[in-house]
Structure 1
Amino acid sequence: MGVRLQDVAELAGVSMKTVSNVVRGYEHVSASTRERVQRAIDELDYRPNLMGRRLATGRTGLLALAFANVALPYFAELSRAVSAAAGEAGYRVLLEETDGTLEGERAVLTSSESGMVDGILFQPSAMSSAEISRHRSDLPMVILGEGAAPLPVDRVMIDNFDAARTATAHLVSLGRRRIGFAGHETQEMSSTSLQRIAGYQQALEDAGLRPDPLLLFPSREISPSGAVEGVGGALDAGADFDGLVCRDDLAAIGALRALHERGRRIPDDVAVTGWDDIELSRVTFPSLTTIAPDLHELARRAVEMLIERISGFSEAGRHELVGYRLAVRESAPSPR
């Protein structure tokens, strides 16, 4: 037989009601009692019955986090930030990969996790706002990132246009005048790429520089190897540039490889910026100057908004921005 609520209560020396309050995250439990109950839960490896909890409280205590690919470092770090924010609010997080496909994203919205979760944090890659509106259920939802988001749905993101302009302006301040953009899709571009390219182009125009379509270096796939191929092919074809804004840190890592292989010095010959400030960006050679979104604030606010929806908040969708900074490192150091 599985471990029962009664078993936890007997080991902790408390009532079953107290154990239930701890499991549900009820705040009016003393710290010492909560600690004693948690020790008993850990010792017995107690797992609350989700269906029983839903029948008793109307909630499961689980949130879903759905995105394209957990193997991508940004999403791995986002998952940790969301799990931490949810844990502080008494929730646990169920990860759901969509592979960035229309079918995968539709499945997430239409299944509603079969009643297992109380709400969903969703970062779309393929679905349009109309698709999301058409397929979403009554399950509370918050959209993450710069992808499509219907106006009635809450969304949390950074200002991608402004951040791209900031990264590009930094390269201009270093005296770079032939600045390229690398790592975007070869065909139908995502809203992420479109916004970042728009900010890049605006910064060039602000500096009196003409955006050159020959300095856009797409990737066959959004990956380091895709950027090696894209940037390397451009260099082999004679592309002339002294600065490079990369769509993300993975593209920047690929660009560093392509430049190194062709004898380009970084930052002397080409200054490079990335995006996301993933852990790897701090240990590349040279280390990456990169846009660092406030990931913890994004996660905290998204979880907070979702719990408000779960608790009955029903007003119009809130579309909010969180901050970012330019983490300046060796690939594009500040002017001396």
Structure 2
Amino acid sequence: MTRVRLTDVAARAGVSMKTVSNVVHHHPHVSPAMRARVQEAIDELGYRPNLTARRLATGRTGMIALAMPEIDHPYFSELSRSIAEVAAEMGYRVLIEQTLGEAEAERAVIMDREAGLVDGVIFHPVSMTTVEIGKLRRDLPLVLLGESARPLTTDHVMIDNVQAARDGTELLRRTGRRIAFLGTVSHDVTGSTAQRLHGYQEALELAGVPGDTSLVLETGGFRVEDARAALSAALARGLDIDAVLCRDDRFAIGALQALAEAGLSVPDDVAVLGWDDTHLATISTPTLSSIAPDKRGIARIALELLIERIGGHQGVGRHRIAPHGIEQRQSTAGR
């Protein structure tokens, strides 16, 4: 079969090769009518871009790397899916890499490992510091996610964790004044926990609720079992609570288990609010209310920033805040 060329599509659509190229490369400045006209010709002729030729002509691969700490963590897996879907809409494929939060693996992602393979990297660091990332070379376009590192030289996308925690705490105040935070984590370097604790404490202070360190529970790790053990121990000590704000949905699942084991009903006795609005929130019993980062919004903002960098944008790093909300389900029902 003769390979369909760009010129063939242009001739069928009655437009210039430049217009076809703009449609193929998902450039924004094409009218919907023109885009539909060119796409119809592409579909009729069965045109497929020659990726090898494109790379030789442009120096680009059409691939981006996405480096996440844990690909099986519900939040990271759902965010990865959103990034892959939005990237496909923009004409890019995604190479996903897991770092497990290890410093050497994180350094490799943005120093050497992806060189020549991808056009840019979206990276959620855990162990690398702001200073270390700020000193790295700038020849590979990079966008950071999360709360651990925010160098002025690098684009960065996150939600406002402090405000989200305030929103969640204010929701739970409808249940009473004794709201626990579950929880801080020993040896935690993620940055997100501290911001969420800050927002929780700030909301209580603004409401005139006296601080009570016994309500801030510490866990030995990030697993469901760690959260369940921490809350179970606190309840066994006689801790009296009206609600629990959890650092993520996995901790909220642990809270549900601990409360059930203690004979407490959710939400009648104790309300529970998770964080991340992952699939776990919809399959628990009761279903979980959860602070909901706009994962698709994070994906789109990060990709738009990265593609601008790939296209040659220069300048200081841009800091973008993605939206968040609260999905209310059974664990705070009627509260």
TM-score normalised according to structure 2 size: 0.87
Residue 322 of structure 1 and its aligned partner are, at CA, apart by: 1.5
Of 309-318 and 20-29, more deviation after overlay is shown by 20-29
1:153 aligns with 2:157: no
Of 23-32 and 90-99, more deviation after overlay is shown by 23-32
Contact map agreement 2:242 2:271 (CA 8 A) in 1: yes
Superposed counterparts of 1:120-199, under 5 Å: 120-174=121-175, 176-199=176-199
Contact map agreement 1:112 1:139 (CA 8 A) in 2: no
Q: Which of 39, 46, 53 lines up with 1:31 in the alignment?
A: 39
Change over 3 Å in CA distance of 1:47–1:94 after alignment to 2? farther
Q: Which residue of 1 aligns with 2:94?
A: 93
Distance 1:160 1:9 in 2: 50
1:298 aligns with 2:301: no
Residue 159 of structure 1 and its aligned partner are, at CA, apart by: 0.5
Contact map agreement 1:156 1:322 (CA 8 A) in 2: yes
Q: Which residue of 1 aligns with 2:252?
A: 252
Distance 1:234 1:36 in 2: 66
1:326 aligns with 2:326: yes
SS in 2 for 1:135: coil
Residue 24 of structure 1 and its aligned partner are, at CA, apart by: 5.2
Change over 3 Å in CA distance of 1:47–1:228 after alignment to 2? farther
Change over 3 Å in CA distance of 1:75–1:7 after alignment to 2? farther
- Say how many residue pairs are matched: 319
Change over 3 Å in CA distance of 1:278–1:7 after alignment to 2? farther
Of 151-160 and 210-219, more deviation after overlay is shown by 210-219
Distance 2:237 2:107 in 1: 41
Q: Which residue of 2 aligns with 1:226?
A: 226
Change over 3 Å in CA distance of 1:100–1:294 after alignment to 2? same
Of 176-185 and 89-98, more deviation after overlay is shown by 176-185
Contact map agreement 1:110 1:137 (CA 8 A) in 2: no
Residue 238 of structure 1 and its aligned partner are, at CA, apart by: 2.6
TM-score normalised according to structure 1 size: 0.87
Q: Which residue of 2 aligns with 1:3?
A: none
List runs of 5+ in structure 1 lacking aligned partners: 1-5
List runs of 5+ in structure 2 lacking aligned partners: 11-16
Contact map agreement 2:84 2:93 (CA 8 A) in 1: yes
Q: Which residue of 1 aligns with 2:241?
A: 241
Of 192-201 and 148-157, more deviation after overlay is shown by 148-157
Pairwise CA RMSD of aligned residues? 2.5
1:164-196 deviation per Cα after TM superposition (whole angstroms, max 9, x unaligned): 01101111123x211111143123453100000
Residue 158 of structure 1 and its aligned partner are, at CA, apart by: 0.8
Residue 7 of structure 1 and its aligned partner are, at CA, apart by: 5.8
Distance 2:202 2:85 in 1: 36
Residue 8 of structure 1 and its aligned partner are, at CA, apart by: 4.3
Distance 2:137 2:80 in 1: 22
1:198-234 deviation per Cα after TM superposition (whole angstroms, max 9, x unaligned): 0000111112112222222222221212212222222
1:9 aligns with 2:4: yes
Of 238-247 and 27-36, more deviation after overlay is shown by 27-36
Distance 1:47 1:291 in 2: 43
Change over 3 Å in CA distance of 1:91–1:73 after alignment to 2? same
1:42-80 deviation per Cα after TM superposition (whole angstroms, max 9, x unaligned): xxxx9844xx54322111001111110110011111011
